[in-house]
Amino acid sequence: MSATPAPAEAVASPAHVLDDRAVRLFIGLAALFCVNTVLAEFIGVKIFALEDTLGLRPFEWRLFGQNGSLSFTAGTLLWPIVFLMTDVINEFYGRRGVRIVSTLAAMLIVYGFAFAFAAISLAPAGWWVGAASAQGVADYQAAFAAVFGQGLWTIAGSLVAFVVGQVIDMAVFHRIRRATGEKAIWLRSTGSTAVSQLVDSFVVLYIAFVLGPQHWPTGLFLAVSTVNYAYKMLAAVAMIPLIYVTRSMMLRYLGRDRAAAMQARAAA
């Protein structure tokens, strides 16, 4: 005997699925998370001087026998948004939601760099190599390769640190949530970031510059990692008001009953 077909109303069509506000919200959060993660990896090749950018006098730090100024990768502009998205997804979609977007982002990073290296290997048109000479770029191909052809050790370090950091962030977030319940949103958000980024900041530089061909001395590795971690934590603290604003917007969009049900499932 053939199986009895399911009632038409029980079979959700794509239109029905996309009409669900929780589904649409997850798509939007996942897209914002992934685009910021991938962009942070690609623009991270640029190092900027924070003091000069803000028009401040140079600040000299001294740590572990090293000294330097406040210079960071341009990717640090976007990582605070990634931290915020991680916590928001954790709050409403739980561990599974974070695992999905983190895995997708990691795959997109690999995909992006694979095509960046493929583009570098393409033979450049002769006229294009000198096309930007008027802007001071004598060899466009060399510039393109320098910007997009990040070292494999740097890519590996960044990717490993991202994945490990996300796993730790997810675990710490839910541990704090179990201890505090629905209260102290700022604590579970900032606390999870504090622990995950402590690991992330040191892992990425250790793989990229200690294990990698540059072989940084221990003092330099510890100093630069500490300064980067301090910057990320200051950014995380500055983002606390935005956490509450984002959560309030999501409660209004989802409706308080639906949002409460999602939060309860996410915390389970």
Confidence of residue 7 (pLDDT cuts 50, 70, 90): very low
How would you class 233 by CB atoms within 10 Å of its CB: exposed for 0-12, middle for 13-18, buried for 19 or more? middle
User: CATH topology for 20-123+137-267?
Assistant: Arp2/3 complex 21 kDa subunit ARPC3 (1.10.1760)
User: Is residue 150 predicted with pLDDT exceeding 70?
Assistant: yes
**Domain map (residue ranges) of the chain:** 20-123+137-267
Confidence of residue 152 (pLDDT cuts 50, 70, 90): confident
pLDDT at residue number 119: 95
**Mean local confidence (pLDDT), 46-59:** 87
pTM, two decimal places: 0.86
User: Is residue 46 predicted with pLDDT exceeding 60?
Assistant: yes
**Mean local confidence (pLDDT), 110-123:** 94
Q: In Å, how far are 6, 14, 21, 158 from 11, measured between CA atoms? A: 7, 10, 18, 42
- How far apart CA 223 and CA 47 sit, in angstroms, is 16
User: Is residue 32 predicted with pLDDT exceeding 90?
Assistant: yes
pLDDT, tens only, 158-196 = 899 999 999 999 999 999 988 887 788 889 989 999 999
User: Is residue 9 predicted with pLDDT exceeding 60?
Assistant: no
Confidence of residue 112 (pLDDT cuts 50, 70, 90): very high
The residue written with tokens 């510890």 in the block is 222
pLDDT at residue number 111: 95
Question: Are the C-beta atoms of 25 and 250 separated by less than 8 Å?
Answer: yes
